[in-house]
Amino acid sequence: MSVIAETLSQTEREQSQQFGRQLVVQARRGHRLQFAKIAVVWLLLFVVLGALLFLLRIDFAYISEHQGFVLQGLLTTIGVSLASIAIATILAFLGALGRLSTNPIAQGISSFYISLIRGTPLLVQIYIIYLGLPQIGTQISRLGYPTLGRLFILTALTSGILALSLNYGAYMTEIFRSGIQAIPRGQIEAARALGMSHWQCMRFVVLPQAFRIVIPPIGNQFISMQKDSALVSLMGVWEVTYRASRFARRDSKFMEMLLLAAAIYWVLTLISEWLQARLEERLARSTQH
């Protein structure tokens, strides 16, 4: 009887596994079909959009002729975004520690920074850093401190990176704070019971897990920053938007060049989203193991 029971149990397990595989195959087939339908819709939209642009007499030859010049600004756009998100991550981490601290000075500085930056437009912040700080530097130099005054006179590129870093750091502070608070309290208490100090607990227990949580939102912020980096073109930084606008103003080809810039940002966003999805999949697999 036991042999029969084991045989029946094994047969049921095999049938269950086969049924599960069939469900997986059907689900994948359904996803592929849905993806194909969406691709067809996209293709039709591209055809309609292309026909509309053709009827509006958009000069595609002009776009093709000058696309190389505009694409040369892509490295600057990516460089500004990478540098800004790196500094913003550090600021956000420090800001989150300040928000979670019981020290009133740390809390006060952090809350003031977040309120000030989040309460003012990014464009105004860029102008203050690029145009306002040199005025302060000039006044300091007149007071007899020229070395200190020169520190306030920044290049356009440095001003853009600083403005983006300060702005995104304030918004990303809440991401880090939420990630740190998402760690179960029991793990922290267990670490303290083992004799770890507060900073050892943060370093070895809390932060490694918190960074896994905040990486996807940071990726979203980086994608947004790539588009907001176009604002540094107002200061004359030779990135994608600035290069496109030069020919647009010179030859009155605003629609052609701005469409080219928009297409470059769109492709850059699609690539970044794909890379972010791959990173999230790797993080999910590593968490499961």
Per the prediction, the chain carries an average pLDDT of 86
The pLDDT of residue 187 is above 90: no
Chain centroid offset of residue 45 CA:
27
CA dihedral 18, 21, 26, 32 (to 10 degrees): -160
Band of residue 60 on the pLDDT scale cut at 50, 70, 90: confident
pLDDT value, residue 33: 85
Rounded Cα gap, residues 175 and 88, in angstroms: 12
User: Which band of pLDDT confidence, cut at 50, 70 and 90, is reported for residue 56?
Assistant: confident
Q: What are the pLDDT digits (tens) for 124-161?
A: 999 999 999 999 999 999 988 888 889 899 999 999 99
CA dist 183 and 204 (Å) reads: 12
Stated pTM of the model = 0.82
Residue 176: pLDDT over 70: yes
CA dist., res. 173 & res. 112, Å (int): 12
**Quick one: pLDDT band at residue 231, thresholds 50, 70, 90?**
very high
Task: Tokens for 210, please give them.
Answer: 């918190």
Tokens 């049938």 sit at which residue? Answer: 15
CATH number listed for the domain at residues 74-237: 1.10.3720.10
For residue 79, what pLDDT band results from cuts at 50, 70 and 90? very high
Structure tokens at 206: 């809390």
Contact indicator for 252, 221 with CB cutoff of 8 Å: no
Q: How many residues does the chain have?
A: 289
